[in-house]
Structure formats: structure tokens, C-alpha cells
């Protein structure tokens, strides 16, 4: 399950009739509300769609590999969460029941059962998703995109991988699961599915009592909080503020991060909340409060969707004297903001889960052709946005860009290729979550490969039995995912710890904006929790471009003695 569209038609309540449902651009046919009754946010994101393409690329790569899952073909379904928890839950219940509509506690579909889910990117979506899947021992792995893996196929059949956009994935740590599961599997009418997330970092998701079947290929916030605290200490900054999303993810993450900063001798002077549902006047109040503080360093711990109006208001109010530090929860997405707003990001520092080389995947992006993807309903949307054209007879969603302008009605040409355009829209300088989507697919593939290679009498289940390859249960896949340690093509070792987390490093990125308007996210350092103390943070100071346009010394900030008083503004 992936988040691809983030534009919502949010009805403004009149209190004179039952509210209309919130709908998502590109997700379903939405109601045509009068202009003054709907708040229109953003729409299709190429960066998120890139994560979908990474999942497809990994599956095709595995299907062509004779040494991994021989004679078994992986397949997939894709669901768009539209950053909506309610839509995500409806999709989850539909997957569990085998029907488009939710049928809790029963499986009505006749097709093969899915073995797991990949997704979602945001923790706020992953948490409710993981709670439902945990009830059924559905393995969930965290990776910005949510994928459902179907393992109920014959040896030469298809293993369907369903992609679901969910931010949190969990792993069950109860070793006695196999005894109970073997006993109960014949009695339960419901499918059980594993979930692996590629982007949800909320530390609560490591709690296996709450989220027994959630895993993630990205490090949890526990590592991130240490990384941010060490990064700030490295620069010698001791007084800062914090802006967080107004939800459980933001509140819990901010408290954990605050403790980490204070543990390294720093002080968090204020914590302000923002949310995409806030009215403009409330966002303006937050901006004015931040403007009034003498604090120069501000940490943003929020998914980017909640920051759009906030950052645009900062730009409009000319609040340009701050140094912004972004946690890994925030994905720097140039397509989300106007060029004017992006000027605020110049010189900012951010964390991102470490990504390895993906040159083969990048090459595959250039070779995309709409004619070769007839079943991809997102491809026409992507194509129209990239080439600013219209596909003949296509009745899909309307494209709205960052400036709110509709695409030119000129028809697309049949021979267009991505070699003909500037592919900066793919934002290839930061493949962090795309890479972890790729890892999530391989985690499922290696688990299924181990399951299929089981020798009867020496299996991990009751009396040494193995899973039936023609009737695989998701809890069996969960067992193998938790136990497996595998190596991908670049030699990196991947495994999940007892909390379902994949230990890993963070890349330290610097946003650099040049006069021509080019936006680059440059890797300037790394945080590796496995390195010796004092060597865990490495930074190339000469590579950092600060907000004043200089590659020289960092800005001079408040560092004098002070009384540390933290204020949480509601």
C-alpha cells in the first residue's frame, strides 16, 4: 500500500447537513462540491510514485533471478492510501476479506491469500494499519510503501505481492506462535498477513505487544533521536525550537528527541504543533510565535504533507533568519512546494535513511514507456504530468501542479521517451525510501525462498513440519522473515532485530539551491550507530552550503548560558 496522491477534497462543514466524505484525487471518483465548500490540497507526487516503481523493479528482478524463488513468480496489487487512515483501513479490510468492500473477520474471496503487505511510508498511517494486521498475525514491514505478498500459489504459480501505503510494520517476537498457529489455522476464517514498512519510524512500532506482525526496513526513531542529538552537538548548537505534527507520531517523537538533545547538553525552548487540517489563521499564529523567538535553530519533526502550508506561510511572512533541521520523518520533496517556498530550504540539514547504489533502477526509469504498462493506472497520470500533455481518450484525474495550474491540453506524442526530458522530477539525488522499498520486497522474497526450500521432518513448525507451498499462511512467512538474514546484490547484510527493526545508518543531507533554481540534496555526512562512540558522526564541513550562500563557516548562533525552559504550545 503506497501513498501516491496527497490531494484531498476536504469538505468544509456547513453544520446544516451530513458532511460529505473526504476523497483523494486519483483514488476514486470524487464528489463535485461547490468551490466554496471544499479545501483543495495537493495531488499526484512523482517522488512517491518512484517508490511504487522501485517495488515493481525489485519484483521483476527477482522473477528473472534463477537462484531466488526458482519456478515461482511474484505478482502484486497496488493500493493508494492518499495519506488517509480511513481509506487505508478500508483497503486493509478489503485485502483481508478478499472483497473490495470491508468484511471484517471473514474471507469471502476465492483467490489466493496474500502473504504480506509492504507499507506504509508515514507512521500515522502505519499505526492503525499495523494494529489491524497484528490481530491476524499479518506480517507488516515498514517501507514508505505497503505491499501485499500472496503466497497461496502452486510451485509454478504466481505469488501476488499487494502494495499498501502504510507507515508502520511490526514483527511478532513470540516464539510460541507456531504451536498456537498450527492449532488454530483450521478454525480461523480470516487471512493473516505480514506487513513490512519502508518509511515509518515511530518508536512505538517496535513494541511487539501492540504490533506483533510489524517490521520495517528503516531504523526506528530511537536511532534517529540519537543521530539528531549527536548532529546538533557536533555543530555546537545548544538552544533550539521544534515544530512537530499534531498527532501521536509528532508528540511521541518530539518527547523522545527532546530527551536526547537535553542528554547532550542542549535545550529545546519551544515545541509548536502543525497539521494539514489546521486553518490558515492557526498556522499564521504558529509562524508569528516562531518569528518572535530569538532561537535560530528549528527542528522540524513532521511528515512533509503537514508542512506545506506552514512553510508557504513562513515564506510569505519573510521568516528567513532560521536554520532548519529536518528529521527523517520529513522527506524533502521539491514537487510539493513552490520555488519561492523552496528558498527557505537553502542550507537546511536533514537526516535520511542510508541508501546504497541503485544505478540499475535509475536506468530502468529512463526506459519507461506508457505503451509497455497498460495495466498501470498511475502511469498515464505520471506521463501527463512529466510531459505537460493529455493522453487521447484518457478519462483519469486532472493534473494540478505546485502552482495550482492545470496541465496544457496538448495531446501527448506516441514516441515520447523520458530521454527527451529533464528527469530532475525523479529527484534521483535522494533514493533513501526508494531503496528501503526495494529491501522490503527482497525481505519477502528471501523468506519465501527459505520457506519453499524447507525439508520435511526438519521444518520449524510442529513436529518438524514445513509450510505447504500451495497453501502458505502469512504467519508462516512472518516466522521466516523474522529469522532470515540475507545479503542483497551490493553485499549489504539485511536482518530484523527482536523488535522488527532493521538496524541501519542515516545519511546527512544538505539542501542546496542555486541561482538557476536547481535544487540538490547533497550527502555531506553519515551517522552510523554501530561505529565507536565519538566516531558515529562524520561530516564534510566544506561540502555544506549554508543559507547565506556560503560554503564557509556555519552561522553563528546563540550558545551563551541560559535558563532552559521548554514550552509546549497547543
Nine-digit cell at 253? Answer: 517523537
CA distance 444 to 462: 22
Phi, psi of 160 (to 5 degrees): -80, 130
- Order across the sheet with 239-245: list the strands: 537-539, 519-527, 506-513, 349-353, 323-326, 297-301, 239-245, 267-274, 567-569
pLDDT value of residue 331: 80
Nine-digit cell at 276? Answer: 494539514
Neighbouring C-beta atoms of residue 469, cutoff 10 Å:
20
- Domains identified in the chain and CATH numbers: 47-219+433-495 (3.40.50.2300), 222-327+332-356+505-569 (3.40.50.2300), 368-416 (no CATH)
Helix (H) or strand (E) run with residue 292 in it: helix 280-292
CA distance 125 to 82: 10
Instruction: Give every CB contact of residue 80 below 8 A, 6+ residues apart in sequence.
Output: 1, 2, 3, 4, 5, 24, 26, 27, 165, 378
Give the three-class secondary structure for 178. Answer: helix
Phi, psi of 51 (to 5 degrees): -65, -35
Contact (Cβ atoms closer than 8 angstroms) between residue 130 and residue 195: yes
pLDDT value of residue 396: 56
pLDDT in tens, the chain (570 residues): 677 765 444 444 444 455 455 444 443 333 333 333 333 334 678 888 999 999 999 999 999 999 999 989 998 888 888 878 888 888 888 877 776 665 555 566 566 667 789 988 888 889 999 998 888 666 665 443 344 544 434 333 344 444 343 333 233 333 344 444 444 343 333 345 689 999 998 889 999 989 999 999 999 888 888 888 889 888 888 899 999 999 887 888 888 889 888 888 889 999 999 998 899 999 999 999 999 998 999 999 998 889 989 999 999 999 988 999 999 888 877 667 888 888 888 899 999 999 999 999 999 999 998 888 888 888 988 888 888 888 877 655 554 444 444 445 688 887 888 888 877 777 777 899 999 999 999 999 999 999 999 999 999 999 999 998 888 888 899 999 999 999 988 888 899 999 999 888 899 999 988 776 677 889 999 999 888 878 889 999 999 988 765 555 455 554 544 555 555 544
Nine-digit cell at 200? Answer: 515509518
Task: Find where cell 505487544 sits.
Answer: 209
pLDDT value of residue 426: 74
pLDDT value of residue 394: 66
pLDDT value of residue 483: 92
Short-list 166, 130, 199, CA closest to 431: 199
pLDDT value of residue 186: 37
pLDDT value of residue 409: 67
Contact (Cβ atoms closer than 8 angstroms) between residue 44 and residue 397: yes
Summarised one tens digit per residue, pLDDT across range 433-459 is 999 999 999 999 999 999 999 999 999
Contact (Cβ atoms closer than 8 angstroms) between residue 194 and residue 141: yes
Instruction: Give every CB contact of residue 389 below 8 A, 6+ residues apart in sequence.
Output: 383, 407, 408, 410, 411, 412, 413
Amino acid at each position: 500500500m503506497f501513498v501516491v496522491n496527497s490531494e484531498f477534497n476536504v469538505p468544509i462543514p456547513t453544520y446544516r447537513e451530513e458532511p460529505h466524505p473526504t476523497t483523494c484525487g486519483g483514488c476514486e471518483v470524487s464528489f463535485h462540491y461547490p468551490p466554496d465548500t471544499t479545501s483543495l490540497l495537493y495531488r499526484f507526487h512523482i517522488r512517491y510514485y518512484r517508490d511504487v516503481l522501485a517495488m515493481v523493479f525489485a519484483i521483476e528482478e527477482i522473477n528473472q533471478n534463477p537462484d531466488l524463488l526458482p519456478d515461482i513468480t511474484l505478482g502484486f496489487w497496488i493500493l493508494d492510501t492518499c495519506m488517509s487512515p480511513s481509506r487505508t483501513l478500508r483497503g486493509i479490510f478489503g485485502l483481508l476479506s478478499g472483497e473490495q468492500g470491508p468484511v471484517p473477520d471473514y474471507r469471502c474471496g476465492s483467490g489466493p491469500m496474500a502473504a504480506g503487505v509492504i507499507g506504509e511510508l508515514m507512521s500515522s498511517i502505519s499505526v492503525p494499519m499495523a494494529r489491524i494486521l497484528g490481530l491476524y498475525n499479518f506480517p507488516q514491514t515498514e517501507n514508505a510503501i505497503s505491499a501485499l505478498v500472496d503466497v497461496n500459489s502452486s510451485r509454478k504459480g504466481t505469488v501476488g505481492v499487494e502494495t499498501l501505503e502504510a507507515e508502520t510494520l511490526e514483527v511478532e517476537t513470540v516464539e510460541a506462535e507456531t504451536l498456537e498457529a498450527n492449532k488454530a489455522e483450521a478454525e480461523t476464517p480470516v487471512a493473516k498477513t505480514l506487513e513490512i514498512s519502508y518509511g515509518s519510524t515511530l518508536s512505538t512500532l517496535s513494541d511487539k505487544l501492540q504490533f506483533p506482525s510489524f517490521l520495517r526496513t528503516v531504523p526506528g526513531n530511537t536511532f534517529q533521536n540519537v543521530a539528531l542529538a549527536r548532529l546538533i552537538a557536533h555543530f555546537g548548537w545548544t538552544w533550539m525550537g521544534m515544530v512537530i505534527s499534531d498527532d501521536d507520531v509528532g508528540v511521541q517523537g518530539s518527547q523522545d528527541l527532546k530527551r536526547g538533545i537535553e542528554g547532550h547538553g542542549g535545550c529545546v525552548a519551544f515545541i509548536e504543533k502543525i497539521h494539514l487540517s489546521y486553518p490558515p489563521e492557526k498556522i499564521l499564529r504558529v509562524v508569528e510565535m516562531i518569528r518572535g523567538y530569538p532561537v535560530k535553530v528549528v527542528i522540524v519533526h513532521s511528515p512533509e504533507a503537514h508542512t506545506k502550508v506552514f512553510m508557504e506561510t513562513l515564506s510569505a511572512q519573510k521568516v528567513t533568519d532560521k536554520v532548519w533541521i529536518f528529521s527523517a520523518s520529513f522527506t524533502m520533496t521539491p514537487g510539493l512546494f513552490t520555488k519561492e517556498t523552496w528558498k527557505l530550504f537553502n542550507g537546511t540539514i536533514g537526516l535520511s535513511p542510508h541508501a546504497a547504489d541503485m544505478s540499475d533502477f535509475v536506468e530502468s526509469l529512463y526506459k519507461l514507456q506508457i505503451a509497455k504498462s497498460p495495466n498501470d493506472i498511475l502511469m498515464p497520470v505520471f506521463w501527463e504530468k512529466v510531459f505537460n500533455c493529455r493522453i487521447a481518450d484518457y478519462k483519469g484525474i486532472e493534473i494540478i501542479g505546485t502552482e495550482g495550474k492545470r496541465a496544457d491540453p496538448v495531446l501527448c506524442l506516441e514516441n515520447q521517451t523520458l530521454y527527451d526530458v529533464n528527469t530532475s522530477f525523479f529527484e534521483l539525488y535522494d533514493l533513501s525510501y526508494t531503496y528501503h522499498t526495494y529491501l522490503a520486497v527482497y525481505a519477502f522474497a528471501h523468506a519465501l525462498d527459505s520457506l519453499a526450500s524447507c525439508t520435511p521432518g526438519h521444518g520449524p513448525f510442529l513436529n518438524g513440519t514445513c509450510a505447504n507451498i500451495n497453501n502458505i499462511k502469512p504467519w508462516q512467512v512472518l516466522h521466516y522473515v523474522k529469522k532470515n538474514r540475507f545479503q542483497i546484490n551490493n553485499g549489504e547484510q539485511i536482518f530484523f532485530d527482536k523488535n522488527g527493526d532493521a538496524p541501519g545508518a542515516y545519511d546527512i543531507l544538505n539542501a542546496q539551491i542555486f541561482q538557476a533554481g536547481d535544487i540538490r540534496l547533497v550527502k555531506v555526512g553519515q551517522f552510523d550507530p554501530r561505529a565507536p562512540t565519538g566516531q558515529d558522526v562524520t561530516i564534510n564541513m566544506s561540502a555544506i552550503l549554508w543559507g547565506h550562500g556560503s560554503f564557509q563557516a556555519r552561522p553563528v548562533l546563540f550558545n551563551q548560558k541560559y535558563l532552559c525552559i521548554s514550552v509546549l504550545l497547543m
